[in-house]
Chains A and B, each alone.
Chain A
Amino acid sequence: MTFNFDAGYLPQLASGLVVTLEVTSCCIAIGIVLGILLALGRVYGGRFISVPCSIYIHFFRGTPLLVQLFIVYFGLPNWGIRLSAFESGILALGLNTAAYQAEYFRGAIQAVKAGQMVAARSLGLTRLQAIRHVIIPQALRLVIPPWSNELILMLKYSSIVFSIALYDLMGVGKRIASRHFNYFEVFIVLALMYLVLVLLITLGLRWVERRLRVPGLGTAGRGA
């Protein structure tokens, strides 16, 4: 048996890798910002803020990512909103991951002990200052483990953008394989590439978590 794989594919795969990393990091960035806002809205917003946030979260968690992607890419042009494949990809994935990240952030915010907010307010900090200087720094440390899973999921799910003709890793792999009929070899290599990325992300985030660790905060912390 031969392993039908040509080193000549590598430049193409490299460009696909770049697209995958771009899509993943852009959608994750959208997701962090929007996710934190949604979580704050759910926890601290009055009914008029928290209910819309909940509806958003339930919508994006309750419908398939592929459906969301097609609505953005094929559906929005009907309303005069024409986005490139890349923009559609990061928008759909970003809006989707925001909903999941919001739930992780909310859990972390609610895991910060109630006395922390009260103590901050007793010093004269405004609610916003207390959220910014006391609640968020603790919540962000608590959220790292579940959030790492979301980042890894998004790296893998980003592969669905091949379906809107984006040449990410998956798109490039499919193009090569359909040209040379070596699906097995190409997708094995692709799988290994994803695996290596996941490992690197896992190690990187563990390092970040260790760097930011504070005693008494989070499951890995000591004491308290």
Chain B
Amino acid sequence: MGRAMDPLLRVEDIHKRYGTEEVLRGVSFHLDRGQTKVVIGPSGTGKSTLLRCINRLTEPDRGQVWLEDVEVTAPRVKINEIRSQIGFVFQDFNLFTHLTALDNVRLGLVKVKRLGKKEATARAMEELTRVGLKDKANAYPAHLSGGQQQRVSIARALAMDPKLILFDEPTSALDPELIGEVLNVMAQLAEEGMTMIVVTHEMGFARSVADEIVFMEHGVIVEQGPPEKLFRSPEVARTGEFLRKISELYGAEG
């Protein structure tokens, strides 16, 4: 089988415990190039921990992560190089407070990818334009709205040319009227073939953009499948129950 046929990301039997609390109890899934997986589940279920285990911002206790043919979880792997290939978008943006939007996007290009300043600037402006914030390049994060900050953080991730991007509840910290602009950027990325894992409660987005929905609870995957299947005829009763509850809260319309 050719390499292009292999999944881009393989997560195998990930376990993580904090003290006596087993947060992840054996999570496995595959993700193909260009796919978008939406992860849903009650709060405290280990969704964030799972995302952070993928690029080892959190060290899993057990299990493996493979990015193409590289084992991310191998002991002597060049983890910084791997992290530069995996974008991460945080719930509270985590833009660098002391840097302008442009410098936020440029930092990784200059320090990790070792681009020259001119090249980095051009690359960064390209991504800021892509998220519609070209004219905010010289603004500091404190002078941007939440939606704008999150779009800058998406540009920061995109500039690194990642193989996939992990989104951890990217719209949960936003005022309702600002959620749309961020979801639109993400939908556009999915359209353009970016590979993404998105933890979100936005069921409209999940329904219209996700190739697959993963329902997690208590540190395990309860059920996963195409959105229509999970919404119409879930195999586990609990999946349907959760989807109904969350759709009432957040709305299922795209």
Q: Which residues of A contact B (CB under 8 A)?
A: 113, 115-116, 118-126, 129, 133-134, 137-138, 141, 214-217, 221-224
Given the complex, which residues of A lie within 8 Å of B107, measured CB to CB?
A: 120, 123, 125, 133-134
B200 at the interface (CB under 8 A from A): no
Interface centre among B87, B98, B153 (most CB of A within 10 A): B98
Given the complex, which residues of A lie within 8 Å of B85, measured CB to CB?
A: 124
Interface residues of B in 56-108 (CB under 8 A from A): 57, 80-88, 90, 92, 94-98, 107-108
Q: How far is the CB of A214 from chain B (nearest CB, A)?
A: 5
Given the complex, which residues of A lie within 8 Å of B95, measured CB to CB?
A: 119
Number of B interface residues in the complex (CB < 8 A): 29
Q: Which residues of B contact A (CB under 8 A)?
A: 55, 57, 80-88, 90, 92, 94-98, 107-108, 111-112, 140-143, 153, 156, 160
**B84 closest partner in A (C-beta):** A124
Q: How far is the CB of A37 from chain B (nearest CB, A)?
A: 21
Contact: B112 with A119, CB < 8 Å?
Answer: no
Q: Which of A120, A129, A141, A215 contacts B96 (CB 8 A)?
A: A120
Given the complex, which residues of A lie within 8 Å of B84, measured CB to CB?
A: 123-124
Q: How far is the CB of A130 from chain B (nearest CB, A)?
A: 9
A122-B88 contact in complex given A129-B111, A138-B97, A223-B143, C-beta closer than 8 Å: yes
Contact: B80 with A217, CB < 8 Å?
Answer: no
Q: Count A-B contacts at CB 8 Å.
A: 83
Contact: B94 with A116, CB < 8 Å?
Answer: yes
Contact: A137 with B98, CB < 8 Å?
Answer: yes
Q: Which of B80, B97, B98, B153 contacts A124 (CB 8 A)?
A: B80
Q: How far is the CB of B63 from chain A (nearest CB, A)?
A: 20
Give the distance in Å from the alpha carbon of A223 to the alpha carbon of B139 in the complex.
13
**A224 closest partner in B (C-beta):** B142
Contact: A124 with B142, CB < 8 Å?
Answer: no
In addition to A115-B94, A134-B96, 8 A-B residue pairs with Cβ atoms within 8 Å of each other are: A113-B94, A118-B57, A119-B96, A120-B107, A122-B90, A133-B107, A138-B98, A216-B141
Given the complex, which residues of B lie within 8 Å of A141, measured CB to CB?
A: 98
A216-B140 contact in complex given A123-B83, A123-B160, A124-B83, C-beta closer than 8 Å: yes
Q: Which of B82, B94, B96, B142 contacts A223 (CB 8 A)?
A: B142
Q: How far is the CB of A22 from chain B (nearest CB, A)?
A: 33
Given the complex, which residues of A lie within 8 Å of B94, measured CB to CB?
A: 113, 115-116, 118-119
Give the distance in Å from the alpha carbon of A119 to the alpha carbon of B95 in the complex.
8
Contact: B112 with A125, CB < 8 Å?
Answer: yes
Given the complex, which residues of A lie within 8 Å of B97, measured CB to CB?
A: 113, 116, 138, 214, 216-217, 224
